């Protein structure tokens, strides 16, 4: 069926040195928490593979995920991945447009049925028949269902595809849902994040390409290699948390000393992601390091978890105001009940017949 | 439902409803009680009733002479539980943030290891009190299912809080959600049970102490 | 059909339930500490004697009538109303096993005044025909004859005359314009009549003017004990009428704890107005004489090792704590405090109408074991007290336990040691 070149052949043709490739494999191994000795084995396995067909569908999204993956300063291992796969369809990146592009997608789906990898970014609007997002006259829902049929596996890239993300935030006017909400019969890997960390995307792809298997996933379908621990578990500011040293504002002494950002709303404790270890921008820094709390972007409904600047232990709603309203209602109800009680008591008093000695006498007989 | 959805629900609607039930419930219970009123005392006072009232409000926190020997478990475990609970509730940094958010008031937190120890003490004390309730003839005799329900809804926030903080048994997010839900449960149960003593204890002590105070009895 | 019925009982409880009671029921945490304070539990080990359990019928009425939930439940038919059978079952707990000593009220960590509630729940028992027979009869006698023991004015006059003769001091009955009106408990007329002579001596010694009324001489108030404000009010009113008619400045409650709180603390609330006179326990009056330097003692201080039994109603419920100690100091050399003395004292076992209740006798004597162990720990020869009911109960208890000990009246002891030569007769106008 597939007459595509192997990865090794393709890389050689692209002029990528064996050394660069090995380096990529070593980085991938370390990211996937495999022993470094695995790198040659990965290189071996990967090299022998035919470049797999990949269809990338973008639905209700902001292109942030693609940006995250492609906007690197210099050619990096992240860009290398594109040399490994054959990205057959991707709105933003493909040269083809219109009918041609769509026909190509259909052709790949037919030709590589059961083999191709489907990558999705963006959520799928299903309200009102899915009219809120269409491509070439097809609703996202239709396109996803059609493309998913022949896919070997699906990678939901970004929190929108994985969990519905920002489009699903209250009040969710488009009825946005995640890929897993629609596709029930294919293996799905959720690579959440808004956007996900580029090396995490490539790491997951590399794993799939290398081993041809789905990595170990958590309850939410995320690879445990990257989402096994919370930001807070790995945060370098954690010692301050444990000592109870918190920045109280973004420019106080605590903030300058690099104290914990919990009180400023950091969602690190409830957020599973690899930012604290892989960092961003080729390991330059990451949000907490740059002085801002984690927003919890790799978790479902992170947009509905109240203000980004409210600590995890705080209620989402304004309970103070609510409590005052409830107190007003309670006071009115309480006074009503209390007055009723007084009325009942007055009734008992009015019915009082003084006890007499004669009555006590009479009772004895 | 994902852990995060559960947590959001706990931090959102669950706490909202619990707050409404708690506030309305406590106020109704309080007013239905207070508005029953009390007749003025016409006897000639020997000393100040209010003085006795305030005195008893704080004095009753000290066990009566001989009582420690007579009911050591209740006294020691009772103290340990209440003190542990108060420290955990009021001096855990994340809790203070919550109070600040709701009441606009904040105060310095205690170090986590102190709060942690207090929580363990409160948990152990509650377990001791439960066993005592089950085996001691008087406590067993006095207890109905409501007493055990109240025990459970008091125990759960402590337990889930401890487990969440130490990332034990369940993922933090899930445990934190259960912790908040258990607090919501506590708030809902509160107005309908003896948990009301949290507030009415001051009223009861005051009334009792005022009667004694008026008579010049120093209790 | 009896005029006393359950409906009246429930209504009476509803009348009695006030904010404090509601707060007490709201506050109870079922810690059981009140049991550890109550001698009926400590000496029997039976959990049913837990104080707060004794007022369970009152709690049920409160819950059904005055709480939102209770009301809802009873409207839906989900809760059972308090029945005759319930009160029958509780009668023993409410009347036999509670002396209203208030020890429970003093220890309850949430501050519940359980003795107050026992007093109130008895209102419901009394008007629904669930008071004990002994108390009912005593109440009938007090209302109809004037004293729970059925003592008539004639008897009083005889006893007073004989005491006047014995002490050599004239006692004028029904004398208007005097400073003090002395009340007496039945026991002080029948058994402990030396008390009358002792008071005569002290009054004479201090130069105070006083009298006893033949119209209203009974100090004890069975209305309070049976739990009927109606009867209690009638009895208080008799005293008030006489005191105001005679124009006395002070009414003296004799050596009787319950009599004291009935006339001192409950009285004005029963008749609905403050008095035009003061009420003092005899010990308070004696202590005032002491303070004014009107008492003079001979050199023969009592050197027998003795202790003082605090009557609950005088100390914990009455506020007279230091006076007897100051007085004892003047006339006794070898005084030892009992453990748990003063406001923490343990009841003799016969207060609150228990002594009037024949059925309760075995229980009362059983729980006397507490007093016994208190006494055993200090090894005294005599016990002084200021309540004739306590005195009776203590004597019976001592006899039951084969203990050889004298029980003395403080007033009598004091009178014995007065130095007549230094009497301040007429010193004060
Ligand atoms: S900054 Fe955030 S992630 Fe880091 S320790 Fe503090 S709370 Fe945890
Ligand atoms: S630190 Fe938190 S919010 Fe920021 S990118 Fe990482 S997971 Fe997302
Ligand atoms: S001591 Fe007070 S709180 Fe405890 S059971 Fe007795 S009445 Fe209730
Ligand atoms: S008042 Fe005294 S006798 Fe009555 S229940 Fe309380 S402790 Fe027991």
pLDDT value, residue A94? 77
Same domain, C158 and C257: yes
**How many A-C residue pairs are in contact by the CB < 8 A criterion?**
56
pLDDT value, residue C428? 44
Min Cα–Cα distance to chain B from A221, Å:
11
Last residue of a domain, one of C74, C96, C131: C131
Indicate if ligand 3 lies below 6 Å from the C-beta of C52. yes
Q: Measured between alpha carbons, how far is residue C107 from residues C19, C35, C75, C112, C343 in Å?
A: 20, 10, 36, 9, 11
Considering only CB atoms, B143 lies closest to which of C26, C30, C272, namely: C30
A24 has a pLDDT exceeding 80: no
Range of the domain at C78: 6-131
C425 has a pLDDT exceeding 60: no
- Specify the higher pLDDT residue, A7 or C85: C85
Would C424 be classed as within a structural domain? no
Residues with Cβ within 8 Å of residue A328, at least 6 apart in sequence = none
Each residue of C45-79: pLDDT tens digit? 999 999 999 999 999 999 999 998 898 988 898 88
Would C422 be classed as within a structural domain? no
Each residue of C85-115: pLDDT tens digit? 999 999 999 999 999 999 999 999 999 999 9
Each residue of B90-146: pLDDT tens digit? 999 999 999 999 999 999 999 999 999 999 999 999 999 999 999 999 999 999 999
C285 has a pLDDT exceeding 70: yes
Each residue of C199-255: pLDDT tens digit? 999 999 999 999 999 999 999 999 999 999 999 999 999 999 999 999 999 999 999
> How many separate domains does chain C show?
3
pLDDT value, residue A320? 93
Cα–ligand 2 centroid distance for A215 (angstroms) = 22
Same domain, C22 and C100: yes
Average pLDDT, chain B: 95
pLDDT value, residue A79? 64
Q: For residues C384-410, give the mean pLDDT.
A: 95
Indicate if ligand 3 lies below 6 Å from the C-beta of C33. yes
Contact A244 B95 (CB under 8 A): no
Would C161 be classed as within a structural domain? yes
Cα–ligand 3 centroid distance for B167 (angstroms) = 38
Chain A residue with CA closest to C146: the answer is: A357
Would C428 be classed as within a structural domain? no
Considering only CB atoms, C32 lies closest to which of B74, B194, B215, namely: B74
Q: Which of A163-177, A201-215, C126-140 has the lowest mean pLDDT?
A: A201-215
Q: For residues C413-427, give the mean pLDDT.
A: 77
Those chains having 3 or more beta-carbon pairs within 8 angstroms of chain A are: B, C
Q: For residues B52-56, give the mean pLDDT.
A: 95
CA–CA dist C55, C96 (Å, integer): 13
CA–CA dist A142, A134 (Å, integer): 9
Q: For residues A266-282, give the mean pLDDT.
A: 92
Q: Measured between alpha carbons, how far is residue B149 from residues B130, B190, B209 in Å?
A: 11, 11, 31
Contact C4 A363 (CB under 8 A): yes
pLDDT value, residue A213? 87
Asked if residues C395 and C274 have their Cβ atoms less than 8 Å apart, the reply is no
Same domain, C212 and C277: yes
Which stretch of DSSP H or E encloses residue C288? helix C282-291
Read off the pLDDT band of C427 (50, 70, 90). Answer: very low
CA–CA dist A65, A155 (Å, integer): 12
Indicate if ligand 1 lies below 6 Å from the C-beta of A264. no
C328 has a pLDDT exceeding 70: yes
| Three-state secondary-structure class, residue A154 | strand
Beta bridge partners of A121: A58, A157
Would C427 be classed as within a structural domain? no
Same domain, C227 and C270: yes
Would C423 be classed as within a structural domain? no
Last residue of a domain, one of C243, C265, C292: C292
Cα–ligand 2 centroid distance for A312 (angstroms) = 15
pLDDT value, residue A14? 77
Q: For residues C375-383, give the mean pLDDT.
A: 93
pLDDT value, residue A205? 83
Considering only CB atoms, A357 lies closest to which of C65, C127, C139, namely: C139
Average pLDDT, chain A: 88
Same domain, C150 and C239: yes
Backbone angles phi, psi at C60, to 5 degrees: -65, -40
Same domain, C400 and C267: no
Chain B residue with CA closest to C108: the answer is: B60
Same domain, C280 and C310: no
Read off the pLDDT band of C1 (50, 70, 90). Answer: very low
pLDDT value, residue A212? 82
Those chains having 3 or more beta-carbon pairs within 8 angstroms of chain B are: A, C
Indicate if ligand 1 lies below 6 Å from the C-beta of A267. no
Each residue of A94-153: pLDDT tens digit? 777 788 888 989 998 999 999 899 999 999 999 999 999 999 899 999 999 999 999 999
The interface predicted TM-score (ipTM) is 0.96
Which one of the ligands is nearest to C30 CA? 3
Chain C residue with CA closest to B203: the answer is: C23
Indicate if ligand 3 lies below 6 Å from the C-beta of C4. no
Q: Measured between alpha carbons, how far is residue C380 from residues C375, C402, C403 in Å?
A: 7, 14, 11
CA–CA dist C55, C95 (Å, integer): 11
CA–CA dist C92, A282 (Å, integer): 84
Structure token pair of residue A181: 């909400």
CA–CA dist A227, A196 (Å, integer): 11
A16 has a pLDDT exceeding 80: no
Q: Measured between alpha carbons, how far is residue C358 from residues C40, C92, C134, C135, C363 in Å?
A: 16, 12, 7, 10, 10
CA C370 to mean position of chain CA atoms: 19
pLDDT value, residue A44? 82
Residues with Cβ within 8 Å of residue A266, at least 6 apart in sequence = A232, A260, A288, A293, A294, A311, A312
Average pLDDT, chain C: 93
Contact B94 A302 (CB under 8 A): no
C256 burial type by CB count under 10 A (0-12 exposed, 13-18 middle, 19+ buried): buried
Structure token pair of residue A239: 């010692």
| DSSP string across B24-91 | HHHHHHHHHHHTT--PPP-SPPSS-HHHHHHHHHHHTTSPPTTHHHHSHHHHHHHHHHHHHHHHHHHH
C286 burial type by CB count under 10 A (0-12 exposed, 13-18 middle, 19+ buried): buried
Q: Which of A14-18, B9-13, B166-170, C412-416 has the lowest mean pLDDT?
A: A14-18
Residues in chain B: 219
pLDDT value, residue A229? 92
Q: Looking at chain B from residue 191 to 210, which residues have their Cβ under 8 Å from any Cβ of chain A?
A: none
List the CATH number of the domain containing C254. Answer: 1.20.1050
Each residue of A317-347: pLDDT tens digit? 899 999 999 999 999 999 999 999 999 999 9
Same domain, C169 and C284: yes
Same domain, C164 and C268: yes
pLDDT value, residue A77? 56
Q: Does B95 touch chain A (CB under 8 A)?
A: yes
- Best probe residue, ligand 3, of C23, C108, C109, C121 (max atoms within 8 Å of C-beta): C108
Q: Which of A80-89, C336-345, C349-358 has the lowest mean pLDDT?
A: A80-89
Those chains having 3 or more beta-carbon pairs within 8 angstroms of chain C are: A, B
Same domain, C169 and C255: yes
Percent of chain A topping pLDDT 70: 94
pLDDT value, residue C429? 37
Residues with Cβ within 8 Å of residue C307, at least 6 apart in sequence = C335, C336, C337, C338, C375, C378, C380, C382, C383, C384
Q: What number does the ligand 3 atom closest to the CA of C32 have?
A: 5
Contact B197 C112 (CB under 8 A): no
Would C301 be classed as within a structural domain? no
Indicate if ligand 1 lies below 6 Å from the C-beta of A294. yes
Min Cα–Cα distance to chain B from A342, Å:
6
Same domain, C112 and C152: no
Read off the pLDDT band of A1 (50, 70, 90). Answer: very low
Last residue of a domain, one of C239, C261, C292: C292
Residues in chain C with CB shorter than 8 Å from the CB of A330 are none
Chain B residue with CA closest to A317: the answer is: B12
Q: What number does the ligand 3 atom closest to the CA of C107 have?
A: 1
pLDDT value, residue A155? 95
Which stretch of DSSP H or E encloses residue C62? helix C56-66
Asked if residues B208 and C111 have their Cβ atoms less than 8 Å apart, the reply is yes
Which one of the ligands is nearest to A296 CA? 2
Determine the angle formed by the axes of helices B172-189 and B15-34, rounding to 10 degrees.
20
Indicate if ligand 3 lies below 6 Å from the C-beta of C112. yes
Handedness of CA C71, C72, C73, C77 (dihedral sign): positive
Each residue of A339-364: pLDDT tens digit? 999 999 999 999 999 999 999 988 87
Beta bridge partners of A87: A54
Residues with Cβ within 8 Å of residue B16, at least 6 apart in sequence = A315, A317, A319, A322
Same domain, C311 and C250: no
Q: Looking at chain A from residue 316 to 355, which residues have their Cβ under 8 Å from any Cβ of chain C?
A: 337, 341, 344-345, 348-349, 351-355
Contact C274 B29 (CB under 8 A): no
List the CATH number of the domain containing C67. Answer: 1.10.1060
Would C429 be classed as within a structural domain? no
pLDDT value, residue A3? 63
Q: For residues A300-325, give the mean pLDDT.
A: 93
Percent of chain C topping pLDDT 70: 98
Considering only CB atoms, B104 lies closest to which of A302, A320, A322, namely: A320
């Amino acid at each position: 069926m597939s007459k595509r070149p192997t990865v090794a052949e393709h890389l050689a043709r692209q002029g990528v040195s064996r050394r660069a490739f090995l380096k990529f494999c070593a980085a991938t191994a370390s990211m996937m928490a495999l022993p470094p000795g695995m790198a040659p084995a990965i290189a071996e396995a990967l090299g022998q593979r035919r470049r797999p067909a990949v269809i990338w569908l973008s639905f209700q999204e902001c292109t942030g995920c693609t940006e995250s993956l492609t906007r690197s300063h210099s050619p990096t291992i992240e860009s290398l991945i594109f040399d490994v796969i054959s990205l057959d369809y991707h709105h933003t990146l493909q040269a083809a447009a219109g009918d041609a592009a769509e026909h190509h997608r259909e052709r790949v789906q037919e030709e590589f049925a059961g083999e191709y990898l489907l990558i999705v970014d963006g959520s799928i609007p299903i309200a009102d028949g899915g009219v809120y997002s269409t491509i070439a006259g097809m609703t996202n829902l239709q396109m996803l269902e059609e493309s998913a049929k022949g896919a070997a596996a699906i990678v939901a890239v970004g929190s929108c595809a994985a969990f519905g993300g920002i489009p699903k935030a209250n009040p969710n006017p488009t009825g946005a849902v995640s890929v897993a909400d629609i596709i029930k019969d294919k293996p799905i890997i959720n690579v959440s994040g808004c956007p996900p960390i580029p090396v995490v995307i490539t790491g997951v792809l590399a794993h799939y390409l290398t081993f041809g298997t789905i990595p170990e996933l958590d309850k939410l379908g995320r690879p445990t290699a990257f989402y096994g621990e919370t930001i807070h578990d790995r945060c370098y500011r954690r010692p301050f948390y444990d000592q109870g040293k918190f920045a109280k504002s973004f420019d106080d002494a605590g903030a300058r000393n690099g104290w914990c950002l919990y009180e400023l709303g950091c969602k690190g404790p409830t957020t599973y992601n690899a930012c604290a270890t892989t960092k961003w921008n080729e390991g330059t820094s990451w949000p907490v390091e740059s002085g801002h709390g984690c927003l919890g972007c790799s978790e479902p409904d992170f947009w509905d978890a109240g203000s980004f600047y409210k600590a995890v232990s705080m209620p989402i709603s304004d309970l103070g105001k609510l409590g005052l309203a409830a107190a007003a209602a309670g006071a009115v109800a309480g006074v009503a009940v209390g007055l009723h009680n007084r009325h009942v008591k007055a009734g008992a008093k009015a019915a009082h017949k003084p006890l007499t000695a004669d009555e006590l006498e009479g009772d004895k007989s | 439902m994902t852990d995060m959805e559960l947590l959001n629900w706990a931090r959102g609607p669950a706490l909202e409803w619990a707050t409404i039930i708690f506030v309305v419930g406590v106020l109704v219970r309080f007013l239905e009680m207070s508005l029953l009123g009390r007749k003025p005392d016409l006897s000639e006072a020997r000393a100040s009733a209010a003085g006795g009232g305030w005195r008893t409000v704080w004095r009753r926190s000290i066990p009566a002479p001989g009582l420690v020997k007579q009911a050591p478990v209740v006294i020691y475990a009772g103290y340990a539980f209440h003190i542990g609970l108060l420290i955990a509730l009021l001096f855990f940094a994340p809790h203070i943030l919550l109070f600040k958010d709701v009441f606009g008031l904040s105060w310095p937190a205690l170090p986590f290891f102190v709060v942690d120890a207090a929580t363990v003490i409160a948990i152990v004390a509650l377990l001791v009190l439960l066993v005592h309730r089950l085996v001691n003839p008087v406590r067993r005799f006095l207890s109905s299912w409501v007493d055990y329900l109240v025990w459970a809804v008091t125990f759960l926030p402590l337990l889930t809080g401890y487990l969440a903080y130490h990332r034990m048994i369940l993922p933090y997010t899930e445990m934190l959600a259960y912790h908040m839900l258990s607090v919501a449960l506590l708030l809902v149960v509160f107005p309908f049970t003896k948990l009301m003593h949290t507030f009415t204890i001051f009223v009861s002590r005051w009334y009792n102490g005022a009667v004694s105070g008026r008579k010049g009895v120093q209790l | 059909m009896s005029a006393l019925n359950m409906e009246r009982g429930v209504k009476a409880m509803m009348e009695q339930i006030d904010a404090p009671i509601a707060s007490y029921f709201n506050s109870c945490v079922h810690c059981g500490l009140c049991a550890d304070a109550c001698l009926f539990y400590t000496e029997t080990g039976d959990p049913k004697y837990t104080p707060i359990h004794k007022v369970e019928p009152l709690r049920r009425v409160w819950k059904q009538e005055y709480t939102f939930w209770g009301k809802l439940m009873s409207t839906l038919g989900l809760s059972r109303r308090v029945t005759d059978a319930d009160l029958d079952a509780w009668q023993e707990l409410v009347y036999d096993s509670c002396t209203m000593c208030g020890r429970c009220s003093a220890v309850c960590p949430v501050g519940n005044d359980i003795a107050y509630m026992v007093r109130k729940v008895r209102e419901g028992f009394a008007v629904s025909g669930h008071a004990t027979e002994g108390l009912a009869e005593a109440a009938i006698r007090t209302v109809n004859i004037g004293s729970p023991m059925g003592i008539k004015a004639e008897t009083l006059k005889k006893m007073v005359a004989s005491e006047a003769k014995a002490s050599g001091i004239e006692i004028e009955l029904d004398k208007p314009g005097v400073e003090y009106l002395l009340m007496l408990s039945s026991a002080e007329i029948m058994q402990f009549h030396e008390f009358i002579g002792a008071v005569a001596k002290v009054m004479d010694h201090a130069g105070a003017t006083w009298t006893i009324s033949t119209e209203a001489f009974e100090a004890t108030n069975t209305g309070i004990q049976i739990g009927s404000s109606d009867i209690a009010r009638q009895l208080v009113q008799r005293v008030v009428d006489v005191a105001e008619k005679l124009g006395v400045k002070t009414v003296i409650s004799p050596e009787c704890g319950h009599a004291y709180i009935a006339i001192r603390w409950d009285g004005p609330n029963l008749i609905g107005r403050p008095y035009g006179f003061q009420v003092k326990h005899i010990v308070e009056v004696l202590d005032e004489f002491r303070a004014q330097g009107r008492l003079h003692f001979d050199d023969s201080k009592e050197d027998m090792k003795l202790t003082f039994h605090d009557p609950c109603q005088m100390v914990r419920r009455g506020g007279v704590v230091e006076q007897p100690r100051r007085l004892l100091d003047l006339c006794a050399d070898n005084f030892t405090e009992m453990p748990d003395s003063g406001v923490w004292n343990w009841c003799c076992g016969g207060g609150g109408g228990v002594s009037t209740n024949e059925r309760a006798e075995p229980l009362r004597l059983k729980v006397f074991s507490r007093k016994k162990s208190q006494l055993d720990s200090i090894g005294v020869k005599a016990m002084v007290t200021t309540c004739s009911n306590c005195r009776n109960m203590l004597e019976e208890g001592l006899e039951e336990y084969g203990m050889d000990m004298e029980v003395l009246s403080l007033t009598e002891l004091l009178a014995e040691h007065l130095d007549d030569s230094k009497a301040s007769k007429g010193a004060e106008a």
